[in-house]
Amino acid sequence: MPAGRRRVGLLLVIGQWQHDPDRLSRFCRDSWTDPLVSCGRGDTLDTLSRYLHPEPDTEAPTTSETTPSGTAGLLRIGELSRRLGVTPDLLRVWERRYGLLSPERTEGGFRLYSAQDEARVRAMQRHLAEGYAAGVAARMALRAPARPAGTEPDDVMAAARAELGEALEGFHDVEAQVVIDRLLAAFSVEAVLRDVVLPYLRDLGDRWGRGEVSVGQEHFASAVLQGRLMGLARGFDLGVGPRALLACPPTERHELGLLCFGIGLRDHGWRITYLGADVPMDTIRDVADRVRPDLVVVCSERMGPLESVIPCLHGLSHDHPTALAGRGASIQVAHITGARLLQDAPMAAAARVAAEMGRREDGPGA
Ligand code: B12
């Protein structure tokens, strides 16, 4: 193969080529390419030829030495293309169609790309490989928080909270899912729930209390997040670890803290039987008798629901290890009912319970 020629693996025959097989095979032979080259709709023989023979491409000088002075760290399209394995034509399409890249221009009009452009293309490639359609992949790549070197994860989480809020309070389900997807790709579930989802919910409630967020926005946000958390709760019953039975008492509909706690505990190897919001005390009791959990957790965010079922809680904690949690759980009610009080925030409480009660073989349920 002549020097300077590159071998390319794959060709999508689109447009004029599929009607001109002779020209196609001549092109492949002349270009010393494997028969298949990747090209997009509307690509022509000329654009492919420019890809295979970059010399004539006036915008594709090959080394950073050829980048004009005063533009240190910026790349021309040929160099970017080589680094990323994406053809210059496709880079231009992504730039034009999705605004994925925002190059500076030299005096001569050549594009110069920054490290951030490169990061966005890499993110785009990642999302495409994950199976997202190009438009969605581009939106996800564009939404990635610009994270300059040295940025602390705390800043990233704070930025993600703001982004999540913007998406949810604008009623954009898909964008909210994208923010969460991206976070879960980079951080542990525990960190995402602890540092983004739970603080966001708290803040949402505060702003709702001050009249800055409408009832519709609050309901939409909590419904989307609940759906997402239930997705993370898949496989709650897997494994052989200790078992927790989780429920909110009658009339209590705030269950998201409890759900996060369950996800945290499951990640520490526990199995979870999840009953959710507003559960009759008889039902909690029946299920506890049946599954014999290592711990029953009854959670309320409001004062009142736990106080009104004190005798039932007393009976429950007599027969099953029981804990109370949430803002509505007080030392007094815990004391009267003989239940343990979980005072930590959900993810910390999950870690503490798992550390103290361990696995079934060495825990209280052994
Ligand atoms: C989402 C939400 C809802 C959703 C709940 C959806 C769902 N599936 O859960 C809906 C729309 C149903 C709802 C309804 C109502 N809500 Co509401 N809601 C909220 C909001 C915004 C988030 C709740 C949440 O999940 N918080 C996440 C928790 C984890 O955050 P947290 O409070 O900081 O939790 C602390 C502790 O409690 C503890 N914790 C909490 N849960 C758990 C669980 C475990 C296991 C452990 C260990 C620890 C723990 O951890 C944190 C400490 O760091 C809160 C705001 C807020 N501040 O929480 C209001 C809030 C709880 N709601 C409130 C109110 C008033 C209501 C309504 C009465 C409104 C109405 N007029 O209808 C109803 C009551 C419904 C009912 N019968 O229960 C008030 C409660 C005030 C109070 N203490 O009585 C709050 C605080 C809003 C406010 N600022 O006034 N709500």
SS3 167: helix
Measure 256 CA to ligand 1 centroid, in angstroms: 8
Return the DSSP state at 113.
B
Take atom 1 of ligand 1 and give the residue whose Cα is closest: 222
The answer to whether 233 and 262 have CB atoms below 8 angstroms apart is yes
Atom of ligand 1 at shortest range from CA of 251 = 77
Residues 261-273: tens digit of each pLDDT: 999 999 989 999 9
Q: What share of the chain is helix, strand, coil (3-state, %, to 5)?
A: 55, 10, 40
Residues 1-31: tens digit of each pLDDT: 444 444 444 444 444 555 555 565 555 455 4
How many residues make up the chain in this entry? 366
Measure 257 CA to ligand 1 centroid, in angstroms: 8
- Of 171-175, 186-190, 263-267, the one with minimum mean pLDDT is 186-190
d(CA 19, CA 16): 6
Neighbours of 185 (CB within 10 A): 12
Residue written as token pair 């231009």: 92
Take atom 57 of ligand 1 and give the residue whose Cα is closest: 202
Domains and CATH numbers, the chain: 1-56 (no CATH), 74-141 (1.10.1660.10), 153-231 (1.10.1240.10), 237-362 (3.40.50.280)
The set of protein residues with a Cβ atom below 6 angstroms from ligand 1 is 198, 201-202, 204-206, 208-209, 218-219, 222, 226, 251-258, 261, 297, 299, 301-302, 325-327, 342, 344-346, 349
Take atom 75 of ligand 1 and give the residue whose Cα is closest: 253
Residue 33 vs residue 336, higher pLDDT: 336
111-112 vs 104-105, strand pairing mode: antiparallel
- R_g of the chain, CA atoms, integer Å: 29
This prediction's pTM: 0.68
pLDDT class of 33 with cuts at 50, 70, 90:
very low
Neighbours of 281 (CB within 10 A): 18
Measure 261 CA to ligand 1 centroid, in angstroms: 14
Q: Under 8 Å CB-to-CB from 202, ≥6 apart: which residues?
A: none
d(CA 120, CA 129): 14
- Token pair, residue 57, equals 């491409």
